[in-house]
Amino acid sequence: MKDLDAIIKMLPDYEQTAKRLNEVLLANLVMVGEIPAPTFNEQERVDFIINRFKEGKLDSQWVDEGGNAVGSIEGNEGDKNILVVAHADTVFTAEVDHTLKVKPEQVIGPGVADNSLGLSVLTTLPLYLEEAGITLNDNLILVATTRSLGRGNLKGLRSFLSNFKHPIRAGLSLEGAQIGRLSHTSIGMLRAEIRCVMPDTYDWTRFGRAGAILALNDLINHINKIETPQRPKSRIVFSSIRAGSSFTTAKRATLRFEIRSESLDIVNRVENRLREIIKQVSSQSAAIFELEILAERRPGGTNFTHPLVQNAHRILEELNIESKPGPSTSALSTFIEHEIPAITLGISEGSNIRNENEWVKIEPVSTGIAQVIATIQAIDGGFCEEDR
């Protein structure tokens, strides 16, 4: 392709190619989505993807040191690499029924949007390129990453980037939802868990029948008083509370939360203030509080004016999809650590994310795939270089 306009003209053809292969994609979606893959236990799903890479006759495929499924298609020149990733793990345990229901307009089931659809597009991508008659100058590296969510803290992608010693021109991260997503920066984030335990020596007579729930509630009230600025954007997000097992007074309770900010300094300041509050509340209630850091992200990313972001934005406009640029806490932070320009793209519309009745629409998928193909071509053509 001589310029981006030539790629734009091919978008209707790419959509038609995706529609022709719709049954293949849905078959891959159901097969991969019905394999449980909780974080740290993705091996069965990784094996399935490697088999798909072999059936797709990729030039090479392997499981790397981080347990990621990796496949590569050699480019005509091959001196640079385009990296496309999708996380393989989900938030659902193996005990959850992973059966996916395929209806005329949507697919329903746990993890279908986050991130079985992104993963199935990754595994089907070589066939899309073949059917569209596309060959690339760069090598195309496809990675289904492990240990991305929660305590995984993006360790799979971090491992891959630390061990891959060849130049990467740009990175694309695929998410099942939402189409129009154009994440190009990562916000600073600290994900943590506070456990409250009432000791065996707790003096119920002196302190009353408070228990772990009220002690944790007192802590939350103090945390809510921490001031977070609007600029740079910052906030504390409470994610979940777990406590008790019956109708007796709870002796244990757990709070999960995130500190988010565009400034790493503010994340650190809020963390320090939080530690002070824990000491204060603990001394007043006699409860034992334990703080555990589960994951961290560094702020930064690719500027909106960068050609990679601008060209992806234009491709979405040409597809009549409203672009939604902005920050995320996804894989972008790992690309940032390695100074690789990268964006996250959504494939379709979805809802009930991270619930067992999660769903994605089928109809927008062909448009979502067209944007991915066109963006890869734009990178391969050198149209996304900052010094172009």
- The predicted-structure confidence for 309-343, as pLDDT tens digits, reads as follows 999 999 999 999 999 998 887 789 899 889 999 99
Q: What confidence tier does 86 reach under pLDDT thresholds 50, 70, 90? A: very high
Predicted local distance difference test score (pLDDT) of residue 283: 84
Percent of the chain residues past pLDDT 70, beyond the cut: 97
- Cβ count within 10 A of residue 12: 12
Q: Are residues 179 and 315 in the same domain?
A: yes
Q: ω into residue 232 within 30 of 0, thus cis? A: yes
Let me know if residue 388 belongs to a domain: no
Predicted local distance difference test score (pLDDT) of residue 154: 94
Let me know if residue 263 belongs to a domain: yes
Q: Are residues 257 and 341 in the same domain?
A: no
Q: Are residues 277 and 320 in the same domain?
A: no
Q: Would you say residue 210 has pLDDT above 70? A: no
Q: Are residues 164 and 263 in the same domain?
A: no
Taking the model in full, what pTM does it have? Answer: 0.90
Rounded to the nearest 10°, the torsion over CA 332, 336, 340, 345 is: 20
Q: Which of 44-48, 49-53, 298-302, 384-388 has the lowest mean pLDDT?
A: 384-388
Sign of the CA dihedral running 143, 330, 10, 137: negative
Average pLDDT on 52-67 reads: 95
Q: What confidence tier does 31 reach under pLDDT thresholds 50, 70, 90? A: very high
- Cβ count within 10 A of residue 6: 11
CA 199 from chain centre, in angstroms, equals 38
Domain boundary among 259, 274, 297: 297
Let me know if residue 386 belongs to a domain: no
Per-chain mean pLDDT for the chain: 93
Q: Would you say residue 170 has pLDDT above 90? A: yes
Q: Which CATH number goes with the domain that contains 353?
A: 3.40.630.10
Q: Are residues 151 and 254 in the same domain?
A: no
Provide the domain limits for residue 238: 188-297
Let me know if residue 387 belongs to a domain: no
Q: Would you say residue 137 has pLDDT above 80? A: yes
Q: Which CATH number goes with the domain that contains 194?
A: 3.30.70.360
Predicted local distance difference test score (pLDDT) of residue 209: 52
Q: Are residues 64 and 163 in the same domain?
A: yes
pLDDT in tens, 264-290: 999 999 999 999 999 998 888 778 999
Q: Are residues 9 and 114 in the same domain?
A: yes
Average pLDDT on 41-53 reads: 97
Average pLDDT on 212-221 reads: 91
Q: Would you say residue 146 has pLDDT above 80? A: yes
Predicted local distance difference test score (pLDDT) of residue 211: 82
Domain boundary among 276, 297, 318: 297
Average pLDDT on 365-374 reads: 98
Predicted local distance difference test score (pLDDT) of residue 331: 87
Q: Are residues 285 and 314 in the same domain?
A: no
Domain boundary among 262, 297, 332: 297
Report which DSSP code applies to 250. Answer: P
> Phi and psi for 369 in degrees, rounded to 5?
-70, -40
Q: Are residues 22 and 144 in the same domain?
A: yes
Rounded to the nearest 10 degrees, the angle between the axes of helix 117-131 and helix 43-55 is 10
**83 bridge partner residues:** 141, 171
Predicted local distance difference test score (pLDDT) of residue 168: 97
Average pLDDT on 40-44 reads: 97
**Total of domains in the chain:** 2
